[in-house]
Chain A
């Protein structure tokens, strides 16, 4: 199988990830629940992971790194910490349902700063026009559908100027595109552990400026005589037993990225995208959503194949051993903004473990199904 659905989850991981998960299951118990060796070994691993992530994302203190079960979990915490019913929120036109649905469910006044695909100046202008008077803003760092890198630095600067707290959804950027949390001055940034950070499913990370409001309440192993959750990070937002095997695996993924470096990973994925793109038919039968400037696109390419239904195309590619994601990618807003809501797209997303040969073979598979 040629796995090209890494924007959903990376299937291939460094071997050290599975090893770390297995070791943690064998040797580690629960941090914060005892002072014996296996509990403290777990606690050390969890702190090592917090520290590595704080370094990677320029966060001042490791306690500002909170472990969640997913990016969605983290985004829900961030959104509920900042936004209430009726509050005006500005979001980009490329947000995932992990942003749109919680805001809708809260009854927030959602203002979409829609802008054309791969036009960062337009995105900045759309935010500039809508930010005054907003309670908060949410912006994805990279569109999960199109790999479009939004101008988060400029949008963060606008938010700072207007005094509007910013939530960054770094789900698609983490592990490839850099994120300077302190430099941006954003209030929150959420990301999964199982995509670009190469950890196991069931892991997520929330970078926090302030303690915020807990989504879950329960045991933390600290201040346990108090009825309220602790008022300090990370405990305030980490009720219940930690996913220690997952965090150990995530740490192994982050260590691998420290060695290989995120810019090198991004460069590799872009090279594969280019090879795949160049090998696709050039006769107009495949519509590619490719940025005119390669610096604003990651290793994710959406296409429409002939007149084929995107789900049918993905199924036929699957029969040929190419695993891709079709449809709306849980991001109808992004498709609406880009004008692809009716047909959807087929998304090819590359990882550090894909090869040039796989990229070209995937393009050949597209040619095959076109006939």
Chain B
């Protein structure tokens, strides 16, 4: 399973991915699935589920707060994470 961390700007998503990659967290920037985008086009960073806590801590340290955190299940469905 993976988490999708959505951001309001591509620049934020890119910065987040670079910070995570530098810390050894696999992170990929991609478009947010249409069904999950509440305000139109957006970008997200996908991280393996096991890295969620580490990723959130790293991003908080860089003052980069994702707009939303979504859990992507193996069947592709998305669920808002608390």
Segment with Cβ contacts to A, from B8-16, B48-56, B70-78: B8-16
Q: Is there an interface contact between B30 and A223, defined as CB atoms closer than 8 Å?
A: no
Q: Is there an interface contact between B14 and A234, defined as CB atoms closer than 8 Å?
A: no
Chain A 181-224 residues near chain B, CB threshold 8 A: 221-224
Q: List 19 A-B contacts (CB under 8 A).
A: A32-B10, A34-B31, A35-B29, A43-B14, A44-B14, A62-B11, A62-B15, A63-B9, A222-B9, A222-B40, A223-B39, A223-B40, A224-B41, A226-B39, A226-B40, A230-B9, A232-B9, A233-B9, A234-B11
Closest Cβ neighbor of A44 among chain B residues: B14
Choose from B9, B29, B30 the contact partner of A234 (Cβ within 8 Å).
B9
Docked Cα-Cα span, A223 to B42, in Å, equals 6
Docked Cα-Cα span, A52 to B48, in Å, equals 30
Give the distance to chain B from A47, nearest Cβ to Cβ, in Å: 5
Docked Cα-Cα span, A50 to B10, in Å, equals 13
Docked Cα-Cα span, A230 to B40, in Å, equals 11
Docked Cα-Cα span, A50 to B18, in Å, equals 14
Give the distance to chain B from A103, nearest Cβ to Cβ, in Å: 30
Q: Is there an interface contact between A235 and B15, defined as CB atoms closer than 8 Å?
A: no
Docked Cα-Cα span, A233 to B15, in Å, equals 13
Q: Is there an interface contact between A35 and B41, defined as CB atoms closer than 8 Å?
A: no
Q: Is there an interface contact between B40 and A224, defined as CB atoms closer than 8 Å?
A: yes
- A63-B15, A225-B39, A226-B40 given; A235·B31 CB < 8 A: no
Q: Quick one: which of B10, B37, B41 has the most chain A CB within 10 A? A: B10
Proximity bits, A23-50, B CB within 8 Å = 1, else 0: 0000000011011000010011001001
B residues engaging A (CB < 8 A)? Answer: 8-12, 14-15, 18, 29-31, 37-43
Choose from B29, B30, B38, B41 the contact partner of A222 (Cβ within 8 Å).
B41
Chain A 266-304 residues near chain B, CB threshold 8 A: none
Chain B residues within an 8 Å CB radius of A233: 9, 11
Give the distance to chain B from A78, nearest Cβ to Cβ, in Å: 20
Choose from A61, A221, A225, A226 the contact partner of B10 (Cβ within 8 Å).
A221
**Number of contacting residues on A, CB 8 A?**
23
Chain A residues within an 8 Å CB radius of B43: 32, 35, 222
Docked Cα-Cα span, A58 to B41, in Å, equals 31
Q: Is there an interface contact between A40 and B12, defined as CB atoms closer than 8 Å?
A: no
Q: Is there an interface contact between B10 and A43, defined as CB atoms closer than 8 Å?
A: yes
Chain A 88-109 residues near chain B, CB threshold 8 A: none
Q: Is there an interface contact between B8 and A223, defined as CB atoms closer than 8 Å?
A: yes
Q: Quick one: which of A62, A223, A232 has the most chain B CB within 10 A? A: A223
Give the distance to chain B from A45, nearest Cβ to Cβ, in Å: 11
Chain B residues within an 8 Å CB radius of A35: 29-31, 43
Give the distance to chain B from A40, nearest Cβ to Cβ, in Å: 7
Chain B residues within an 8 Å CB radius of A226: 39-40
Docked Cα-Cα span, A357 to B12, in Å, equals 48
Q: Quick one: which of A32, A44, A235 has the most chain B CB within 10 A? A: A32
Chain A residues within an 8 Å CB radius of B30: 35
Docked Cα-Cα span, A255 to B4, in Å, equals 33
